[in-house]
Structure 1
Amino acid sequence: MSYIVESSGRRIIGDSIDTFEHDELTFIGANLPHVWHNDERYFEAVEPSSHARSVTLFFDADKLITAFEGMVTMQKLKSILQIAQRGMKFFGQTKEKLKALLLQLAAEEEGFERMILLLKILDTLSNAEEYELLSGLGYTNNYQLKDNDRMDKVFKYVFANFSADIHLDTVSALINMNKQAFCRYFKNRTQKTFVEFVNEVRISHACKLMADGEQQISSLAYACGFNSLSNFNRFFREAKGLTPREYKKIMADNKLAAYQ
Structure 2
Amino acid sequence: MKPVFAKVLEGWDNEVYATRYIDRPYFTTEFHFHKECQLSYILEGEGTRIIGDSVEKFTSDELILLGSNIPHVWHNEEKNLNKRAKQKKHARSVALFFDPDKLIKLLSCFYNTKKLEQVLQTARRGISFHGSAKEQLKTLLFKMADAERSEKLILLLQLLQILCVTKKYQLLAGAGYINTYHARDNERIDKVFKYLFNNFSTEIKLDDVAALANMNKQAFCRFFKARTQKTVVEFINEIRIAQAIKLITAKDAAIKAIAYECGYNSISNFNKFFKLITGKTPSAFKQQV
The answer to whether TM tops 0.5 is: yes
In structure 1, the residue corresponding to 2:176 is in which secondary structure? coil
Equivalence for 1:37 = 75
Deviation for aligned residue 1:147: 2.6
Q: Could you tell me how far apart the structure 1 residues matched to 2:104 and 2:151 are?
A: 20
1:236 maps to which of 274, 277, 284: 274
After the TM superposition, which parts of structure 1 deviate over 3 Å for at least 4 consecutive aligned residues? Answer: 39-46
Any idea what the Cα deviations from partners look like across 1:111-170, whole Å, max 9, x if unmatched? 211111111111111112111111111112111233333222211111111000011122
Per the alignment, residue 139 of structure 2 pairs with 100
Q: Compute the displacement of 1:88 (Å).
A: 0.5
What SS does structure 1 have at the residue aligned with 2:73?
strand
In structure 2, the residue corresponding to 1:10 is in which secondary structure?
strand
Residues 216-225 or 33-42, more deviating: 33-42
Query: Structure 2, unaligned stretches of length 5 or more?
Result: 1-38
Alignment of 1:79-158 (within 5 A): 79-109=118-148, 111-158=149-196
Tell me which moved more, 231-240 or 137-146. 137-146
Of 199, 204, 224, the match for 1:186: 224
Aligned residues: 250
TM-score normalised per structure 2: 0.82
- Aligned residue identity for 1:123: Q
Residue 161 to residue 214, structure 1, CA distance change in 2 (3 Å): farther
Sequence identity, in percent?
A: 52
TM-score of the pair, normalised by structure 1 = 0.91
Distance in 1 between the 2:80 and 2:251 partners? 23
Separation of aligned partners in 2, 1:42 and 1:65:
42
SS at match of 1:137: coil
**Aligned-pair CA distance for 1:6:** 0.9
Q: Deviations over 1:161-188 (max 9, x none)?
A: 1000011122122222221221111000
Residue 27 of structure 1 is matched in structure 2 by: 65
In structure 2, the residue matched to 1:77 is 116
- Tell me, in whole angstroms, the C-alpha distance in 2 between the residues paired with 1:3 and 1:152: 24
Aligned: 1:9 with 2:47: yes
The within-5 A match list for 1:139-218 is 139-218=177-256
Q: Which whole-Å CA distance do the structure 2 matches of 1:181 and 1:43 have between them?
A: 35
Q: How far does the alpha carbon of each residue in 1:166-213 deviate from its partner, in whole angstroms, 9 at most, with x for none?
A: 111221222222212211110000010001100110000000001113
Quick one: which amino acid aligns to residue 115 of structure 1? Answer: L
Q: 8 Å contact 1:8–1:39 — kept in the other structure?
A: no
Deviations 1:1-31 (A, max 9, x none): 1110111000011111100001110001111
Write the distance in 2 (CA, Å) between the matches of 1:221 and 1:40. Answer: 25
What secondary structure does 1:135 align onto?
coil
Among 220, 225, 229, the alignment partner of 2:258 is 220
How far did residue 50 of structure 1 move?
4.3
- Give, in whole Å, the separation in 1 of the partners of 2:110 and 2:188: 44
Q: Which residue of 2 aligns with 1:255?
A: none
CA distance in structure 1 between the partners assigned to 2:179 and 2:94 by the alignment: 25
The aligned amino acid for 1:59 is F
SS state at 2:110 partner: coil
- Between the aligned partners of 2:274 and 2:121, the Cα distance in structure 1 is 30
For residue 245 of structure 1, what is the aligned residue in structure 2?
A: 283
Task: Give 1:114's aligned amino acid.
Answer: K
76-85 or 187-196, larger mean C-alpha shift: 76-85
8 Å CA contact retained: 1:90, 1:131: yes
**Matched residue of 2:208: which SS?**
helix
Partner SS state of residue 64, structure 2: strand
More helix by share: 1
Question: Are the equivalent residues in 2 in contact too, given 1:42–1:51 (CA < 8 A)?
Answer: no
Q: Please tell me the residue identity of whatever aligns with 1:122.
A: L
**1:61 aligned partner:** 100
AA in 2 matched with 1:170: D
**Residue 82 (structure 1) shift:** 1.4
Q: Distance in 1 between matches of 2:230 and 2:260?
A: 23
Distance 1:128 1:147 in 2: 37
Give the drift of 1:41.
6.1
